[in-house]
A = this chain, B = another copy of it.
Amino acid sequence: MGEGCRAGDEDRLARVAWGRLAEPCDLQAGALTQGLGHGDALRWLREGAGPPPVDAPWGQDVWARARARWRPRLAGLDPEREIAGIARVGGSVVVPGDETWPVALDDLEAAAPHCLWVRGDPALLVAGDARRDASGLTGAVAIVGARASTGYGEHVTGELAASLADSGLAVVSGGAFGIDAVAHRTALAVGGPTVAVMAGGLDRFYPAGNADLLARVAREGAVVAELGPGSSPSRSRFLTRNRLIAALAQVCVVVEAGWRSGTLSTAMHAARLLRPVAAVPGPVTSAASAGCHRLIREGVAVCVSDAAQVRELLPGGGETLAAEPDDAAVRRAGDVPAGVSTLDARVWEALPARGGASIDSLVRVAGAAPGAVRAALGSLELAGHVRREGDRYRRTAR
């Protein structure tokens, strides 16, 4: 053990055990298992005395407290039975060394999960990795937001998720009501990949109102959790779950979020992981957009309006900069003709809407020298914007 790279049986079982013993983001558990390997860490917990032989900044008291919180959970451990249990519902446990372990989670360092429980296609987990080449996946984008979403937010989420998933990007979200649900549902609707990250165990889909949707994500995409079956979701587990959403995706997009929304924690995790964060603005009169505006205002998130602007944030996305919105047909009669120089425009504007004008008059009105006015009239005439009649010039009808 110790190197933690080969997914040998002992390592897998010990990782499942540590997923039970320690709460997510238990930094002592992270340091211990990364220092000793999960198997030796388990042996130290069962048999050892004093601080473990790992390089860590904590004294004996911290390790004593850590043991005291882990040991009460040793009694109920049965990793083999649990792995068999998830297999019976078509699921699996993924650990480092497996083909489908997302190396993107290494960015979490000591807060990386010990293992992942998966129902569905575990290959989707690597959508955010460099190793996705053979899978047909093009990357992974987290789309997260308010449970109390508005019709506006749901509409925008649908537009984003449809476009991104349709191009092979995995849509990662939290399976909650509101924005999350629309993101998953839309990705499924366009036949695209989607991953739901749960805060509790996979024996039960939470929230119950999304059970049908999550069952479909489990069949056609993947539902994933770091906590074993039977673990109930809690507020702290929702917050630690958010770091997995952030880590599994290459970009995090927040569509709607209240001023204190838990969604903001996903954005902050993504920012700490150096993943680009995007937020969709909305009406300032909508409380559901206040968190998005906060992220933009505080410089955490970049302001995005459509899927193309999200794609720009993907690795290499700067090569395909989003096009400007099409503004054909916005010009009105009386406007300066398109594509003319500044001076030409000034002379064109100096021409009356009806009737003609002499060069002397144009020189005064445009405030340009006679030679410049003559040159401008020449190029405007050549482009068909101006017509000469004797010694006077007039605009052509358009």
Chain A interface residues toward B at CB < 8 A: 21-23, 26, 65-66, 68-70, 72-73, 76, 152, 155-156, 234-236, 258-260, 280-285, 287, 289-290, 293, 296-297, 302-306, 309, 324-325, 327, 330, 335-336, 342, 345-346, 349-350, 360, 363-364, 366-372
The answer on a CB contact under 8 Å between B367 and A73 is yes
* Option from B23, B260, B281, B306 in Cβ contact (under 8 Å) with A282: B281
The answer on a CB contact under 8 Å between B281 and A303 is yes
The answer on a CB contact under 8 Å between A324 and B259 is yes
Residue of B nearest to A73 (CB): B364
A289, A297, A366 — most chain B CB neighbours (10 Å)? A297
* Option from B72, B330, B371 in Cβ contact (under 8 Å) with A65: B371
CA distance A186 to B4 in the complex (A): 67
Number of copies of this kind of chain in the complex: 2
The answer on a CB contact under 8 Å between A236 and B349 is yes
Provide the residues of chain B in CB contact with A235, threshold 8 Å.
335-336, 345, 349
The answer on a CB contact under 8 Å between B363 and A325 is no
Known: A73-B367, A234-B349, A235-B345. A155 touches B68 (CB 8 A): no
Residue of B nearest to A371 (CB): B68
* Option from B306, B345, B346 in Cβ contact (under 8 Å) with A284: B306
The answer on a CB contact under 8 Å between A363 and B285 is no
The answer on a CB contact under 8 Å between B284 and A236 is no
Provide the residues of chain B in CB contact with A285, threshold 8 Å.
152, 155-156
A-B contact pairs, 6 of them (CB 8 A): A68-B371, A235-B336, A235-B345, A235-B349, A284-B306, A297-B304
Known: A260-B330, A327-B258. A370 touches B234 (CB 8 A): no
* Option from B65, B330, B350, B372 in Cβ contact (under 8 Å) with A369: B65
The answer on a CB contact under 8 Å between A330 and B283 is no
Give, as a whole number of angstroms, the nearest-CB distance from A152 to chain B. Answer: 6
* Option from B70, B342, B369 in Cβ contact (under 8 Å) with A68: B369
Give, as a whole number of angstroms, the nearest-CB distance from A330 to chain B. Answer: 7
In order of increasing CB-CB distance, the 8 nearest A-B pairs are A281-B281, A68-B369, A284-B305, A69-B369, A23-B367, A234-B349, A297-B303, A296-B303
* Option from B76, B283, B296, B302 in Cβ contact (under 8 Å) with A283: B283
